[in-house]
Amino acid sequence: MPKPLSHLLRITGRLILTTAAVVGLVGLFLVLIVLTDGAGSGLAAWLITLAVGTAAALWRGRRRTWRSRLRPFLSVVAAAAMTASVCIPSVPTQRRPPPALSFVATQHWSLATGSRVAVYHYPPAPGVTRHPTPLVYLPGGPVRGISVLDHRFLQLLSRQGHDVYAYEHAGGGRSDLLPLNQYAISRSVSDLAAFVDRLGKGRADVLGFSSGAIVLTRTLAAPHTAARVHRAIIAEPGPMDGPTTRTRGHKGRPSARGLAPAMTGPRATRVPRYAVALGLMQLGVLKPDTGLIEQAEGANAFRAADLSSDTASAYCAQDAHRIPTEDTAQNFSFNPAASLHIQQTVKDSPSIAPHLSRSRTPAMLMIAECSSQVRQWATAILAGDPAIQRTQYMPGVGHRMWNGLDGNNERAAAVITAFLRNKPAPLPNYPTRADIPTFLGDHR
């Protein structure tokens, strides 16, 4: 064999072995992250990986010249450098809430449950007929700040005479964090009841959107919390309990997911530390209270672009290339650890259907044509709650029903206002309980 060729083969062989060793050490590190639950911000896994790599390099270098003994350490150094980035925070580890909004004051209310939440108030516009019952808005998330797009919609409702109050769930937006073990769907229900009590205006109308609709549905299923609600609007609900989360079914008309251009801007999931932590948490192999990243750090790191595909799925396919900017970078806030913790408590909860069947609070269900939610989540509530008086199937919109496009905000506001004032619905009452089999069968 020619000498240059043999030399090239030796170099190639060494490169392959070095690469394999690096990949093996990185894989070991990830396994140790899971086994140690990210202890010490991942440092425990890193030190063990370094020790194993060093021991293996020393063993491979035995009976070699001193230069040959150094070669195995190249893979150890490379793997140590790569994995060290998972252990080093790149954002503050203490919570940094968003700055104050310029167009509405942020109040902070301490609730009887121990939660301290950020509150926003939009009083009725002067000169319009004032609706006597206050309206409370529960945002989605589960633990996400109220977007600027939502604030605009709440302003529209106030211009129509509603006295609108909104609060960010504990741990979201400008609300204070809770210890991770205190986040639960039951705590969210208790917070809503405590908020209405703190409001001090008797029963309130409540609009719950997405995961906020889950909180509202479960509130209606318990007489002691349902007593605080005058009228309920359940908009685009997620699964209401454990059995519902395991329901298989179809979604609405095609959404913009996979069609819309990727959202620009920074992403936490492009930083090794947060890509590993959030990815393993999403897979369920790391607990939300992992020692790898604290709750506050995860909330500080998460960016709107990390939810790019979820945002696209909230719009109809025909809107893929005109999705509005839902929020500003300064106002955006999402708490992934708290959200996963609450979602898990929903999955672990028993059926609430027997309790919901005794609900007497007048309610309305809102369903989007291009919804990204499983249809059976909404129809389970429709079938289970005898107090739902009307359903409004919203044409031409996705999960984000008030999105500022084509008068969709005004249409959603008209539907909500008509129900709260007990006036005829702007849209047909569809689907009714009797329509459920056909509605699902037609894949509407």
CATH of the domain at 222: 3.40.50.1820
Beta-sheet strand order (sheet of 229-235): 107-110, 116-122, 164-167, 135-138, 204-209, 229-235, 363-370, 388-398
Does 286 map to a domain? Answer: no
**Same structural domain, 209 and 327:** yes
Hey, what are 367's tokens?
Answer: 């369903």
Does 363 map to a domain? Answer: yes
Omega within 30 of 0 (cis) for the link into 142: yes
Which pTM value belongs to this model?
0.92
**Same structural domain, 335 and 402:** yes
3-state secondary structure of 417: helix
**Same structural domain, 58 and 148:** no
Instruction: Name the E strands within 159-312.
Output: 164-167, 204-209, 229-235
**Spans of the chain, pLDDT less than 70:** 1-18, 61-72
Looking at this protein, which amino acid is placed at residue 201?
A: K
**Same structural domain, 68 and 123:** no
Does 100 map to a domain? Answer: no
**What dihedral angle (degrees, nearest 10) is formed by the CA atoms of 337, 339, 345, 346?**
-160
Tell me, what's the pLDDT at 163? 98
CA angle in degrees (0–180, nearest 5) for 37-82-17: 110
**Same structural domain, 178 and 324:** yes
β-partners of residue 334 are 144
3-state secondary structure of 168: coil
Backbone angles phi, psi at 175, to 5 degrees: -75, 155
Tell me, what's the pLDDT at 65? 57
Number of domains in the chain: 2
- Residue 22 belongs to what domain range? 3-87
Does 283 map to a domain? Answer: no
Do 255 and 318 contact (CB within 8 A), yes or no?
A: no
**Same structural domain, 199 and 73:** no
Pick the last residue of a domain from 87, 116, 132. Answer: 87
Looking at this protein, which amino acid is placed at residue 154?
A: L
3-state secondary structure of 83: helix
**Same structural domain, 57 and 139:** no
Residue among 207, 193, 210, 229 nearest 162 (CA): 207
**Same structural domain, 394 and 346:** yes
Do 107 and 121 contact (CB within 8 A), yes or no?
A: yes
Does 304 map to a domain? Answer: no
**Same structural domain, 194 and 68:** no
Tell me, what's the pLDDT at 424? 97
CA 177 to chain centre: 16
Per-position b or e across 404-429, b if 16+ CB within 10 A of its CB: ebeebbebbbbbbbbbbeeeebebee
Q: Are strands 164-167 and 116-122 parallel, antiparallel or unpaired?
A: antiparallel
CA angle in degrees (0–180, nearest 5) for 335-338-341: 145
**Same structural domain, 137 and 204:** yes
Tell me, what's the pLDDT at 23? 87
**What is the rounded distance in angstroms from the CA atom of residue 230 to the CA atom of residue 234?**
13
Q: List C-alpha distances in Å: 203 to 117, 121, 153, 167, 330.
A: 20, 17, 22, 17, 34
Do 209 and 146 contact (CB within 8 A), yes or no?
A: no
Tell me, what's the pLDDT at 6? 55
Q: Is the dihedral of CA 359, 363, 369, 370 positive or negative?
A: negative
Do 296 and 180 contact (CB within 8 A), yes or no?
A: no
Pick the last residue of a domain from 87, 122, 137. Answer: 87
Does 297 map to a domain? Answer: no
Does 270 map to a domain? Answer: no
Pick the last residue of a domain from 87, 116, 149. Answer: 87
CA 111 to chain centre: 23
* Residues present in the chain in total: 444
Does 274 map to a domain? Answer: no
**Same structural domain, 24 and 150:** no
**What is the rounded distance in angstroms from the CA atom of residue 340 to the CA atom of residue 361?**
29
DSSP run (H or E) holding 12: helix 3-35
**Same structural domain, 357 and 229:** yes
Do 95 and 328 contact (CB within 8 A), yes or no?
A: no
Hey, what are 123's tokens?
Answer: 């009083």
Tell me, what's the pLDDT at 62? 62
CB atoms within 10 A of CB 223: 12
CA 20 to chain centre: 37
